[in-house]
Structure 1
Amino acid sequence: MNIHFDLDRPAAESRIVVAMSGGVDSSVVAALAARTGAEVIGVTLQLYDHGEAVKRSGSCCAGQDIYDAKTVCDRLGIAHYVLDYESRFRTGVIDRFADEYAAGRTPVPCSLCNQGVKFTDLIGFARELGADCLATGHYVRRVVAAGRVELWKGRDPSRDQSYFLYGTTRNQLDFLRFPLGDLPKSETRRLAVETGLAVADKPDSQDICFVPDGDYAGLVKRLRPQTAAPGDIVDLDGRVVGSHPGVVHYTIGQRRGIEIGGQPEPLYVVRIEPEHRRLVVGPRRALAVSVASVAEINWLAEDQVAVEAKVRSLARPVAAHWNGSSLRFANPEYGVAPGQSAVFYEGERLLGGGTIVSTEAALLAA
């Protein structure tokens, strides 16, 4: 297999820094980098206090993961650094995550992390080390077309992570490398076995990395206790139809947990009003959105009007019109929630994206 890191200098004169989470993907990237003959340095982020980190495994940047990254580096004969970014991570990701839920929005913490400590800070550190590039284990493709660097979806649709990387800037793309972008996960694991890496069979991390048990509501309640206050559930006309145990337990489009009987059709969360501790519910057609306003835009391509927009990580891109501040969907879109990322594509190419701040309902007949 011939994987290139697109170095500007001969490999023997180059230095590659690899962002290592302790998982199989970044470990294989380190092994591939070492094969080039370049000097390779692995860097792992310590994102939790040491006491908590030791308890966490199967997540990202936890105690076991740091140990695994060091073990891989020792196996490859490369240097390994651990950077303590706990305070930056708490401020830039965890606190913002809790604030967004407290405001009735649905955040995407992986995007926040990639835009902050994972890329901005790590790239800065790699440059301080005199690196020629920073390589990561993300399943996306860095494509040079007509002298311009572009970001494309990973070749394997089941592994594509481009949705979470829309905030990557052009300057960052110049410095970043994604050697796994053309591979399926099965090939990555095969390479790990071939190289003799102890993490070859390590399971992929699940859920949000700083909520490994999946109980995000419990975390938010601890950090923002007001979100656990009970309140009313009202219909689209403002009539009280029930009660809830706290807005933290709900997101836009959710059906489970409403538990209101005697209704002619199933009810979904249409709007969250945390200032009034209130949930607004309605039938599924009330979730239909025609327009979404998007802010904090990062744009990687030329000006595009016709785009394919993805408004949830597991959603399919849909046709939309972009006017520079809002998306108008060609057909009503469901499950569009403020706080989520809207990411724009042209086929395989990522054009840019931003954060959904508000939506306009589509008027559908009953």
Structure 2
Amino acid sequence: MNTKRKAATVAVAGTAAGALGLGLLAMPAGADSAPELPEIGAQQLVGSVLKTEPPAMSGTATVDNELGLPAMPGVPALDAQSARVYYDGDGKGRVAMEQQSSELTYVLGDKEFWSYDSAEGTATRTALPADARDKHRSAKAAGADPTRTAAQVVDRLEESSTVSVDGTARVAGRAAYELVLTPKPDERTLVREVRVAVDAEKRLPLRMSVLTHGTTDPAFEIGFSEIEFGPQPERLFEFSPPEGTKVTESEAGRPDGSRGESGEEPQFRVTGDGWDTVVLTRVPQEMRDRAQGEGADVEGMLDRFGKPVQGEFGSGHVIETRIGTALITEDGRLAAGAVPEQVLRQALENR
């Protein structure tokens, strides 16, 4: 699997499984009558989606989350939240994600990437090499961006899917084709199909819906409720941290997950292909140390929200949602994907 597809896989698997914790949920847009559009072939539509780059635009992205995640103490519920998305049409972007009374802001400029947490009063600045902007473009904010998220899904899953066009829709006031990706019979996944609403004029994904077996309601849906095309103010793609913000300097990460000069372990590894892709990583040591601190009852929480499991990989807990599964081992390994538990077990045992 090449580097580009690995990066896309991580974004797709993380979104589908919900394991990376997308932090926004908003009211679904009202339904409009389906527009009449010229017929188009599925492969022609897929090709146009993969070739299209977002023009200068702004919009409000919303998520309808019915993953079936349990409510956890101290973790904000994924509701009543949204994100503003901006592009300059030349690679720079901004995503502002509302989280109850606070906001997470991500700004990608020419030479640096900023992330800012207003609740914590912290910001991280990442200096980007000349060739790194595209690789870093939506690494942290991809889950809030319907255009990038859906395009990555189409790119990654096209070869392992039956692809069709199923009518039309109207999203954020714009006419769109409904592109449907259905897993081929030999794919091991919890997902029944993914539907992508593609703007008929711009050929941009406007909405992505993930459906599971036994229901007609999406388990997960991300899309624009508002979108406008046109030049954006340059100031949106610059960032100056507010006074008193604690700023951390960071180096651009290695998107291919390779080892650095220090020989430290990569942040993630990908196994499988297509719909049964699994992402393997480790819970950060700092988080593990904090979990073992005084008053922490991680084992009790995992027992409450997951189920204990054992196997050749050791022991751990499985947490299941409608479209994804995560397996956390006692020694800090984590496997996640839009797959049944058995696929995660095999991925850990074959590591």
More strand by share: 2
- TM-score w.r.t. length of structure 2: 0.25
More helix by share: 1
- TM-score w.r.t. length of structure 1: 0.24
Q: Greater relative contact order (Cα 8 A, min sep 6): structure 1 or 2?
A: 2
